[in-house]
Amino acid sequence: MQNLTINAGRLWDSIHETARFGACDGGGVDRLTLTDEDKRVRDWFCDTVEALGCTVTVDEVGNMFAHRPGKRDDLDPIAIGSHLDTQPTGGKFDGILGVLAGIEILRTLDEAGYITNAPLEIVNWTNEEGTRFSPAMLCSGVFAGVFPPDYAWSRTDRDGIRFDDALDRIGYRGTEKAGGHRLGAMFELHIEQGPILEAENCTIGVVTGVQGARWYDVRLAGSTGHTGATPMRLRRDALVGASELVLAVQRIAQDHGPEAVASVGRIDVAPNSRNVVPGEVSLSVDLRHPDDATLARMAESFEAELGRIADHHGLERDLTPVWDSPAVRFAPELIARVEAGAEQAGLRHRRLVSGAGHDAAYIARVTPTTMVFVPCLGGVSHNVAESTTLDECRAGAQTLLNAVIAHDNSLID
């Protein structure tokens, strides 16, 4: 095989160039999906890949595909992709690295005059983060048939703006039917978003799957009252009940082994006044485990605790399931390609399961898929302090390139 080497400095420059779109204090990025800043980075993506000779198509929920022809266009494309949207206080690397590494691979191939057997496609999946429009991984989910397009279009943000209206406003509702786009395989490069690789001085994570996740919205309603005039015995304090539920969620994770994790990530209190007993609390609950049966037991425990706490404090309760993502196992043949790609590059690697959800988790339902992880400083992500190094980006992109080329060659063996 021809020696193909990533230009790490060029990749690093692209990372910092795209960080201008939504740059926020602390060196991070605030680029929520379907905002003006998202449009700017999408426009940049189109201009960049078209300059490399790619054709860009956009589907009905805004997923973007940059197509580079291969020698055999009868073969389904090999996709390299992730997402360009961020958290409101996100970093420069979460998701973005996976898209830009794909662009760097195209640049490397172009410089070498190398044409793959199968076409290559760089993909930007819409609304991976799920911050503005819930749930997460919304449009890779539509692509994989998990959600119908109407479901995605009807999602609203906190200001009541519908997803389809926001998509139309920035001009990125395409004509291609979501899921009508065939892929032969997909590779996704991502920062780990956890501390394992850094703690073990390991450069490459060979991702074997993604743990299952269940998200819920909870509403607890009691009675407001004057703090000074309402006796403790007569209160129906929704915040007290919510506080007990937060601790119950923590206990549930601790009771289900070291792989179980859970948290309450958002709380809204009403009326949120200094001298008023809180009458209503809304909160989010996130339960995760790599084993579906264990995750189901965690969910049963959570629902039981919610009922017990609400009854004890005389609170009304509403429980809304938001997201149920089963555990995912990635394609063994692609996992092997990533391991071989890391070894070819002389990089220390280990297998692991992703603790975070990713677009690859849904795409694995419709085509062979795997992921490559690189370390991030302190395991910190979804934070302006999110950081990785130029050498780690180089390592991830080189491993990705090696794996893609090896898989492409296997298609005609």
Q: What residues contact 311, with CB distance under 8 A and at least 6 apart?
A: none
Q: Tell me if 94 is assigned to a ligand binding site.
A: yes
Q: Tell me if 358 is assigned to a ligand binding site.
A: no
**Which residues face 217 on adjacent strands?**
284, 320
Distance of CA 331 to the CA centre of its chain: 19
Coil, strand or helix at 98: helix
Q: What residues contact 149, with CB distance under 8 A and at least 6 apart?
A: 60, 61, 142, 178
Q: Tell me if 16 is assigned to a ligand binding site.
A: no
**CA triplet 389, 80, 399: central angle to 5 degrees?**
45
Pairing of strands 328-329, 280-289: unpaired
User: Rounded distance, CA 194 to CA 46, Å?
Assistant: 31
DSSP secondary structure letter of residue 374 = E
Q: Which of 117, 115, 109, 142 is nearest to 128 (CA)?
A: 142
Q: Which of 206, 225, 212, 350 is nearest to 290 (CA)?
A: 212
Q: Tell me if 289 is assigned to a ligand binding site.
A: no
User: Rounded distance, CA 338 to CA 322, Å?
Assistant: 33
Q: Tell me if 129 is assigned to a ligand binding site.
A: yes
Binding site as annotated, residues: 83, 94, 129, 190, 382
Binding site as annotated, residues for Zn(2+): 83, 94, 129, 190, 382
